[in-house]
Structure 1
């Protein structure tokens, strides 16, 4: 047995890359300083792997923004409009990810979507008929050269050609099959360059193989690799998969001349069965994903050792199930965690140690490791609340049903609120400026009183309510100045959650989150949002939305328990949020938004599992939250940066009154699906991208609204940005929103 990982976190234990990159964007440091910070982080990551005695050091998993974008730019998959900006390679890279605006140019960023079933996001490559795919960027080669100074057991990695072609958006008449020869030639060129390095393995990531594959998909894959693997190479090639099993193409894969095949034995439900049924070639190495790369709980060695011993493969490398990108760096940074919880946690550094432990156990080098691990798992004490369990046991079908039906509620609510056509609102948060963050920090460190902290937030709420009224918004929000993160904030006010200080996980680009840990039974301690929402509503005659995070998103953006079913955890959270909804309603909040930004996130990658393993409990959990409100109370929800087109009917079944979607980066493609599926819920497709610093013009937003109304009736449409404004600056946000309101007023004038 030998050991390795698929990939490692890159933002830094203290978010060094985030801070350096954002300073670079603000022109506070130069490119050389940013690159130096990146090199320091890479070298630290490589040394950590070496210190853990891993057999192979992973190089190529680092990224300034996203590995898919890295591969796309490495192979010249760059739309011409970015090349016309005349930027250097790194600035062009950031322009693709974030958009670009100066006195002469205004270019939108490429779409961003969720990376399979995780909370990480990737930039969707764009291929048009003129795209000239070729190897043009030596970033990987430079990293290999840097790593080779201290390490000689290097495994380079890159996103594979099949996955790039499957994830890309095609503009024009050509499709993936038209680019096979070009992409094979480009990767073959990379192979030739890698022959001049000292790498032992090249890991080619092909996670798209775990989807349901059509005959055309399989033909595309075989066509690519039959040609590519014929390229002379002096290193071993590992086909790496993760997030599931490759049941549709396993037989083809083992026949191709790969030197290694990486399979996921955590989420790959059929990985072991596939090997037992079809065998595994003796001349190939199996990279066995046996340590969970997504969750933060300790590995149970007894079960993992049994799994590895039962795999009928001659050559096995013990690996992670996916990249460790999806977990924090180091448990030892969490000095305030309950010791009874902390001893059960394994972040990235600890998972490196677990791989080494497993290797020693399997080689009979340290039997004490197994005994100590067995003792740990015999003593797990999750906090238990019998009242929560009784409440779940007493639920009936009526608790999931809201009356009257939506069509009747729609008429009631239009009469109640008397809003104009194309009602305007934002998704919830306004910019978290430095003074907001400082106020929170001062309170957290006991440097100001609770009254001082609350008064600061009240002043902010009053200011933003007045600003929205003056700007002309129809439905206002209080700005969410009291919230650090949309999930962490709610978790802090619910029993059953634990929180970290430095357990940052990258979501996209420089955006990182600290997911809460679900450790015990969940219930609401006290009202969470009522005070801020009620205060905001007292300042205006216009409706102010109550802003909540939904149970599925709270669950999906937390590290969940593994001792109880997901359905049970989500139902516990749903009942806690239901209590908050009813409290808001009781205090005069008539519009309540329950965000389910992560609804799609844990959807099984194979359609056959969608309902039996997810939607059959995720959709009812949302309905449970709002089923008891009055017909005059309007329920909104929000979803972003995922592919929702194929679950439109399930989303309509959530029985919300209004749903806002991220739509601008994806060119409003979701609207066609809404129309085709006779979507009943009122909708707010996002009309501009808030994840970019560029300010959209009035005419740009007006054109987006016009495109929406070409397909949807104005009585069904709300107008809003893509997402919350928390990460943006006030100057750009206010300028964008003024153009936004002007565009709506222009369109209303036309509609009369």
Structure 2
């Protein structure tokens, strides 16, 4: 990604400006349409890049400013999915949602995010990262009335994602992230074919690859689910040993203010770790020392040259100013630990 020690990055979304979408509402409808929407999305992306650079982040992303939903915005550009035919399904065994239906063979007629990625590349000479939904999380956000097999549909999506990822790489994207929160729920499928489908999505890429596995946005359904998980959240124990042996370069996880035992990071020893050091389920802004403490404790289980300080998840539902100040806290906390490591023998 970069030669900087402890390079900072966000996982995914940032809040959109009020003129583009309703503030603090996840997956809010657009306030603009037509050419004004196209221009507004680019203005919002440009502003997101400006804030990340102004706050000192090392790896820059689009903040998902040009998409409403981290999964369905990709799916709506594919053939074989009918958005007018909707069904209610259980998302990650957590909450019900109205979703589109797979009615035929899925395919990608043209690139989905490449034009936006080109625009992002034009905004900065720093490394840039782009997030895509993972195959398992995609199938969990649909009603399937064609394949009648979650595995078959996941493999189709993995092929489509690989096509998109290769074109994003050609457009200048340095880091490609696949979001797989479903890995924290469907353990048997994850082991049987989920990891393999993820590797298919990343096959042949020269860009650095990331899999992001979290406990979800800071919304009530996710927070209620977390409250049932007890004093220790050990879901990563299921996926990390498999990911350690996978072709994926970086494992991204939720940590700060969670009940994830940090020693689980040891299970991916040798991989880079994108560690969530910012809580996205609270408006409280972390102090730099809060962030630094989370990073220090993680360094017992991951070498410093493989640690990437980040956010727990996306920040779309947060107040915009809060999210931006959390970016500053992330960078300041990483700076503290960098200074401490400068005089140590830690791997660099």
* TM surpasses 0.5: yes
1:40-439 matched pairs, under 5 angstroms: 417-437=1-21
d(CA) in 2 for partners of 1:506, 1:625: 25
Select which of 608, 617, 626 maps to 2:202.
626
Structure 1 contact 567–617 (Cα < 8 Å) conserved: yes
Residue 518 in structure 1 maps to residue 102 in structure 2? yes
Establish whether residue 685 from structure 1 lines up as the match of residue 275 from structure 2. yes
The superposition leaves residues 679-734 of structure 1 with CA deviations (integer Å, 9 ceiling, x where unpaired) of 33211121121022222222211111111113321012110010011111111111
Q: Tell me whether 1:694 sits opposite 2:290 in the alignment.
A: no
1:487–1:557 contact (8 Å) kept in structure 2: yes
Bigger radius of gyration among the two: 1
2:168 aligned partner? 584
Deviations 1:293-336 (A, max 9, x none): xxxxxxxxxxxxxxxxxxxxxxxxxxxxxxxxxxxxxxxxxxxx
Q: 2:209 aligns with which of 623, 635, 639?
A: 635
1:717 aligns with 2:293: no
CA distance in 1 between counterparts of 2:59 and 2:78 reads 28
Q: CA separation in 2, counterparts of 1:441 and 1:635?
A: 30
C-alpha displacement of 1:511: 8.8
Q: Is the 8 A contact 2:86 2:101 kept in 1?
A: no
Of 263, 268, 286, 1:672 maps to: 263
CA contact (8 A) 2:104 2:146 kept: no
Counterpart-to-counterpart distance in 2, 1:428 and 1:647: 21
- What is the 5 A alignment of 1:20-39? none
TM-score (norm 2): 0.84
Does the residue aligned with 2:337 lie in a helix, a strand or coil?
Answer: helix
Aligned to 2:336: 746
C-alpha distance in 1 between matches for 2:90 and 2:281: 15
Superposition RMSD in Å: 2.5
Change (3 A) 1:577 1:469: same
Following TM superposition, by how much is the alpha carbon of 1:436 offset from its aligned partner in structure 2, in angstroms? 2.1
**CA displacement at 1:664 relative to structure 2:** 2.1
- The one of 109, 113, 126 aligned to 1:542: 126
Contact 1:619 1:650 in 2 (8 A): yes
Residue in 1 aligned with 2:138? Answer: 554
Q: Distance in 2 between matches of 1:511 and 1:466?
A: 35
Number of the residue aligned with 1:650 = 242
Tell me the equivalent position of 1:203.
none
**Structure 2 residue matching 1:428: 3-state secondary structure:** coil
Q: Is the 8 A contact 2:8 2:330 kept in 1?
A: no
Residues 22-44 of structure 1 deviation map (CA, whole Å, 9 limit, x = unaligned)? xxxxxxxxxxxxxxxxxxxxxxx
How far apart are the structure 2 equivalents of 1:751 and 1:589?
29
Say whether the 8 Å CA contact 1:533–1:545 is kept in structure 2: no
Distance (whole Å) between structure 2 residues aligned to residue 476 and residue 563 of structure 1:
37
CA distance in 2, matches of 1:693, 1:704: 18
Which runs of no fewer than 5 residues in structure 2 stay unpaired? 23-27, 216-232, 343-348
Q: How far is 1:515 from its partner?
A: 3.0
SS at match of 2:79: strand
- The answer for the alignment partner of 1:496 in structure 2 is 80
1:659 counterpart residue number: 251
The answer on whether the counterparts of 1:440 and 1:482 sit within 8 Å (CA) in structure 2 is no
Distance in 2, Cα, partners of 1:463 & 1:732: 15
Counting helix residues as a fraction of each chain, which structure ranks higher? 1
Within 1, Cα distance between the matches of 2:2 and 2:56? Answer: 15
Provide TM-score, normalisation by structure 1.
0.40
Q: Distance in 2 between matches of 1:511 and 1:542?
A: 38
**Deviation, structure 1 residue 422:** 0.8
> Matches of 2:96 and 2:59 in 1, distance apart?
30
1:460 aligned partner: 44
Shift of 1:562: 6.9
Deviation at 1:579, TM superposition (A): 0.8
Aligned to 2:211, the other structure's residue is in SS state strand
**For this pair of structures, how many residues does the alignment match?**
318
**Contact 2:291 / 2:329 at 8 angstroms: preserved in 1?**
yes
Q: Deviations over 1:356-409 (max 9, x none)?
A: xxxxxxxxxxxxxxxxxxxxxxxxxxxxxxxxxxxxxxxxxxxxxxxxxxxxxx
For structure 1, the residue ranges without an aligned partner over 5 or more in a row are 1-416, 604-609
- Sort the Cα spacing of 1:651 and 1:517 in 2 relative to 1 into closer, same or farther, 3 A: farther
Q: Is the 8 A contact 1:699 1:743 kept in 2?
A: yes
Higher RCO (CA 8 Å, separation ≥ 6 residues): 2
1:195-250 CA distances to partner (integer Å, 9 max, x unpaired)?
xxxxxxxxxxxxxxxxxxxxxxxxxxxxxxxxxxxxxxxxxxxxxxxxxxxxxxxx
Task: Quote how far apart the aligned CAs of 1:543 are.
Answer: 1.2
Q: Which residue of 2 aligns with 1:168?
A: none
The alpha-carbon distance between structure 1 residues 555 and 535, as it changes in their structure 2 partners (threshold 3 A), is same
Write the deviation string for residues 587-636 of structure 1: whole angstroms up to 9, x where unpaired: 11121111112123322xxxxxx3xx552321111111111212xx1111
User: In structure 2, how many angstroms separate the alpha carbons of the residues matched to 1:511 and 1:463?
Assistant: 33
